[in-house]
Chain A
Amino acid sequence: MIDRKKITDFLKKYIVTILFLVLSLTFIILGDLDMTSVARDLMKRLSRNAFIVLSLIIPIVAGMGINFAITIGAMAAQIGLLLAINWNLTGPVGILVAAAITLPLGALFGYLVGVMLNKMKGQETIGSMILGYFANGAYQLLFLYIFGNFIPLNPKVTIIGATGVKNTLDLTTNGLAQAIDGILRIPFLNCVYIFAGAGLVYALVMFLLKKITKKKALVTAGCSVVLAAVFCLPVVANCFNGKNSEAITVPGITWVLILLLCGFNVLIMKTRLGQKFRAVGQSQTVANASGINVNRVRLIAIMISTVLAGWGQLLFIQSDGMGTLTTYSAHEQVGLYAGAAILVGGASIDRATNSQALLGTLLFHLMFLTVQKAASALFGDAVIGEYFRAFLSYAVIAVALVMYAWKGNAKRKKKRRICEPHN
């Protein structure tokens, strides 16, 4: 009885996740795709997008829903990057300077977004989305008319014969493309072995320190060994070390940054500020009554999220395959895709964790990769795949919103039913 209920609950919670997994597998089978190339593309996309998706977690915990206004953080990052290109900075230094500019700009924009969102409590999701649209207008105004006319720019970044910034900015000649990704590339298999080794060491140390039981330590150690053993098998290993093609590598520094952000997300929840986030997220009235300045906490949550999203966008742009920055559209879909990705991982409008974010990014981009190829294999036309993934992105968000509202309404009804006899 209990088991069945648990299973249905699990299914309810992870229905979207399972759906995406099934869809992706179907597409792989239908499209008859080469697993190695899928795995390589997936690794690229995962390391490119994970940071941005992780930046959504804090506002969700603080009860502000999915912060679609991270597009504004992305805009701040693009302003920083433009200035870095304008000053002829190259390589990692350029990215670092852009990140340094993103920090105050993102914080300022985040502050403004937070002020607006505090005025529309309960409507944050739509509010942040429209704020993103509005900011896109301001961004175009800035890049088309203010830069070049009022703020002088290097002629190589402006449109020839007119004012305003070029449509695409080249990142390859100045070494900005792959500036972070290229520093340390580790073969994927080595990564697995390092991971397995770390698992073993963890189990051993924890057991010796008597933090975990013998059984648990054995399970952890066993899992690590099995993982390493599986990847030692020639069948699996050939898939990844690229006997037939280029080996799959992991951009080391990018993943260090991603893991740092995961750590930050966990640690901040243990501080006093993190507890405030959680308190405000659970109930604003209760938080207010216990002396928390609700509006201020919400402001901080959005500011952190905006800055992080800006840095995430920098990681995204430097890793993007084309080696260019499409000045007027690189930021447009950031919010939509990141929001959909975190929801695919099993997060809801008011609850999200690191693992959900990473899993969601993985599955969402797996679907993204496979649907297009499957569509061109099935229908002879890639465009339909494009429509399908746009539909899924919107639908995932719609479904999550519907589920959330449903749950909220059910709770409210229950409360009323309990209250009624007392009246």
Chain B
Amino acid sequence: MTENKTISAKKTGASRKIVSAVLFVLVAALLVSSGLGYIVRGMDGTQVILDTMRTDAVLSTATSGLVESIAAARRLAYSQELRKSKEFRKMGTDAYIEACDKAEAEARDEATALYSDTSGVDRAALEAAIPGIQGIQGRYNAMKEGENEAYAALYTEVVDSIGDWTEFCDANADDDALWSALCAQVETLSDNVQLRPGMIKLVKAMAEKEIAADHAQQAAQLWSSASGAVEDWTAYAEAADEELWNLILEAVPSLAENENAADFKEELLASAKLAASGEAAAEAESETVTAQTQVDYSYIVYSDQLQALEKEVNGAFTSLWDVLISGIPALSELKDKDAAALRERILDVITASEGDFAQQYTKYASCGAAKKLTGFTKVKMVVASNAENLLLLGVAALLMAALFAFWKPITGKMGVSRSIILLFFICLMLAAQFYKINMSMLIGNILERVSMYGVLVLAMMPGIQCGISLNMGMTIGCVSGLFALVTSLNFNINGWAGLIFSIVVGIIVAIPLGWGYAILLNRMKGSEMTISTYVGYSFVSLMCMVWMGIPYHNPRVVNLLIGRGLRVTHSLLGNYAYILDELGSFKIWGVTVPTGGILFFLICCGLMWLFSRSKLGISMSAAGSNPRFAEASGINVDHMRILGTVLSTVLAAVGIVVYSQAFGYAQLYTAPRQLGFIAASAILIGGASVKKAKISHVIIGVILFEGVLSMGQQVANEAVSGGGLSEVMRIMISNGIILYALTQSGGEQK
């Protein structure tokens, strides 16, 4: 048996060596070619080739634009002709489209044959004209971008600082009053007077949008309560509007009493008809909250300097256009609209020379300039343009090779799951580089998420230390925190007072709940994780009913339409949203550091560390890691388990308050159900097992886990069209890690 094992170990060792050797060869090849690419970029001849390519690209853009517009015109003319003819009625849509396509293709071939010869153009004049335009256009673009950026910053500030647009609009009916109120809200706005008309329009549009959104949301909520009341909507497929309306009124009694009910008639009837026809209506609960404000550029007004610069660009372009027309006279016959579109395309080609080598090359090649390159020159240019990608691939391959070669020592030190996640982390970093995702934004995002989830993950630690393994029932703590938070909203306790109130009350509520839960867990040692999961789940569902019935009456928290029960999502914007994160927040290399949130997390970690060094903390971990030994040395194991569980619950209560303020919204009902899983997978990734956890595991885990998730989200968005992939990734990583930990613990037990 042992012999067999050593042989197989040797075998796998040998194959691993071969794989890593092959990988190393690949790495060398990739790195060398990338190096060659960089050398080619530096050579004199390359720049000349690139310049020629640029002229070619401009010329071919011009001719192709001409050909396309001729072909499109021909298609239009032909289709009009067809419509007039008698046969048109007989032919189907497909035949019609086919005929048009054919005519268009013929026209295109003709035009290409006519105009593909560009030898008539004065190349020297063209080459002389291009750099001039490039300079002006470059300045124009830079300035426009700067103004856009300033506008975006102002826009976000305005949008974030105003909680209720309708109220704001109503309070300042006059345009002047509106502007001064805006300037009072956002001080920097008064320096940008040219934005005034745009901003006023924006505020009014937002107010309208808000009213519409409110209306839609209320209708959706109404529908969600109405749809459940009727078992089978399809039975009413034939029903008239009035009958359906009566049905809805019956289903939602509060609606019948509501005098504004008629406002929602249209929406509700539409939903009811949709349900009656057997299709699933959109669910009301799947409302997603975007954490970042989307900037709408349609309200921007540019400064005078920029407009002057635009005129200058126009002038320079006209001279270039003249050169082109003298070579290809047909260009002058283009319609104004086509000519304007062509102008944009040519300018786009010219400004590409502002970018780096790879960008220039891909732009020119996509315009058809690569066709004229031949043989060795082409290979040279392709390698040079891909030097960066080759370098990235080389580094990735190097990492893989190193991992294969040193698999044993690495996994031995860090554990299999952590090494795989680390590798994944690095791969995602490289992929982010490849897709040119803004690095500082990425890091800022990770930091934000670390401060958001940190305390929640920390809550897992005392549970593991005291021996109840992964405390999936920490949702009990989360719910107490949410209760405190909603209470603070209900009693209008705002700002810092609200935050502190939520934390303190959350802790006070969490202690007895955690206590009772701990006593339950003490009675069933050995299968805590299973039970805690289901206890947590059933507590969350129980609290769903409590949220429905809680006697809170503040319109801020109550589901306004039904008139009782709390809303699902509570906005903290304009209250204590981001209050902790923005405390002492600063920007460094473009990264916004949420100082307060990170500091709070680190302080909590520090306190936990101090506690675990104290006598009590040490006896708690002793009770967890070896209960028999602990009992023998006089430690009351049951008490220690209660202490750990209560600590975990309390931290979860604090954690959810911190999480909600960083998210900007508090979510009730079924939202907190999966938080235990997220926290568990994070601490496991950090290197903890179901029996052992340290502060370092918490910190490493939260950074790795949140890093992988937030980078994965952005890379997946770039790589695959349509969202959802990042969510799939989250599900698989999070549950996969927990499964791995379970298999490890199972091995130890039996």
Contact = CB atoms under 8 A, between A and B. Distances in A.
A394 B232 contact: no
Interface residues of B, number: 60
Contacts of B612: none
Given A322-B278, A381-B225, A391-B545, A145 B534 contact: no
B728 interface: yes
B457 to A, nearest CB: 18
A382 interface: yes
A140 B746 contact: no
A130 B746 CA distance: 15
Contacts of B229: 376, 381-382
A252 to B, nearest CB: 23
A162 B530 contact: no
A136 interface: yes
Contacts of A405: 523-524, 526-527, 531
Interface in B235-263: 251-254
Contact of A372 (B228, B253, B544, B562): B228
Interface string B523-547: 1111101110111011001101100
A145 B721 contact: no
B746 A121 contact: yes
A394 B731 contact: no
Nearest to A385: B228
A386 B677 CA distance: 23
Contacts of A123: 527, 529-530, 742, 745-746
A70 B537 CA distance: 20
A68 B214 CA distance: 41
Most buried by B among A144, A386, A405: A405
Contacts of A387: 541, 544-545, 548, 669
Nearest to A117: B746
A162 B254 contact: no
A114 to B, nearest CB: 13
A67 to B, nearest CB: 13
B534 A401 contact: yes
A341 to B, nearest CB: 15
A104 interface: no
B749 interface: yes
Interface string A78-114: 0000000000000000000000000000000000000
A129 interface: yes
Contact of B225 (A121, A382, A391): A382
Given A121-B749, A141-B728, A394 B739 contact: no
Contacts of B541: 387, 390-391, 394-395
A373 B228 CA distance: 9
A6 to B, nearest CB: 26
B625 to A, nearest CB: 18
Looking at chain A's contact residues, the main secondary structure is helix
Interface in B167-222: none
Given A382-B229, A384-B548, A130 B251 contact: no
B352 interface: no
A375 to B, nearest CB: 9
Given A127-B739, A134-B735, A372-B228, A394 B534 contact: yes
B509 to A, nearest CB: 19
A321 B722 CA distance: 31
Given A168-B280, A394-B541, A116 B524 contact: no
Contacts of A168: 279-280
Nearest to B724: A144
Nearest to B255: A380
B743 A116 contact: yes
Contacts, number: 159
B747 interface: yes
Nearest to A162: B722
Contacts of B729: 137
Contacts of B131: none
B82 to A, nearest CB: 29
Contact of A134 (B538, B565, B736, B745): B736
Contacts of A376: 228-229, 251
A409 B524 contact: yes
Looking at chain B's contact residues, the main secondary structure is helix
B228 A408 contact: no
Interface in A115-154: 116, 119-123, 125-127, 129-131, 133-134, 136-138, 140-141, 144-145
B323 to A, nearest CB: 43
B529 to A, nearest CB: 5
Nearest to A141: B728
A388 interface: yes
B743 to A, nearest CB: 4
A323 B742 contact: no
A158 to B, nearest CB: 12
Given A127-B742, A130-B742, A137 B735 contact: yes
Q: How large is the interface on A (under 10, 10 to 19, 20 to 34, 35 or more residues)?
A: 35 or more
A138 B545 CA distance: 33
A402 B532 CA distance: 10
Most buried by B among A123, A321, A379: A123
A121 B562 CA distance: 49
Nearest to B278: A322
A326 interface: yes
A397 interface: yes
Contact of B533 (A129, A326, A391): A129
A384 B569 CA distance: 17
B372 interface: no
B750 interface: yes
Most buried by A among B229, B251, B253, B520: B229
Contact of A390 (B252, B279, B544): B544
A341 B535 CA distance: 18
A131 B526 contact: no
Contacts of B252: 380-381
Interface in A364-381: 372-373, 376, 379-381
A120 B548 contact: no
Contacts of B731: 133-134, 136-137, 140
A130 B738 contact: yes
B558 to A, nearest CB: 14
A195 interface: no
Contacts of A326: 280
B739 A380 contact: no
Contacts of A122: 526-527, 746, 749-750
A86 B287 CA distance: 32
Contacts of A406: 523-524
Nearest to B674: A133
B732 interface: yes
A58 to B, nearest CB: 20
A137 B681 CA distance: 15
B732 A408 contact: no
A184 to B, nearest CB: 24
B224 interface: yes
A391 B739 contact: no
A372 B254 CA distance: 18
A41 B742 CA distance: 41
A402 B225 contact: no
Contact of A120 (B544, B670, B722, B743): B743
A402 B542 contact: no
Interface string A199-213: 000000000000000
A409 B523 contact: yes
Nearest to B256: A380
A93 to B, nearest CB: 24
A382 B228 contact: yes
Given A127-B742, A394-B537, A140 B724 contact: yes
Contact of B535 (A137, A390, A398): A398
5 contacts: A120-B743, A134-B731, A140-B731, A168-B280, A381-B565
Given A123-B742, A144-B728, 11 more contacts: A122-B527, A125-B530, A126-B529, A126-B530, A140-B727, A381-B229, A384-B545, A394-B534, A398-B535, A398-B538, A401-B524
A-B interface, 7 closest residue pairs, ranked by CB to CB distance from nearest: A382-B228, A405-B524, A137-B731, A120-B746, A391-B541, A394-B538, A398-B534
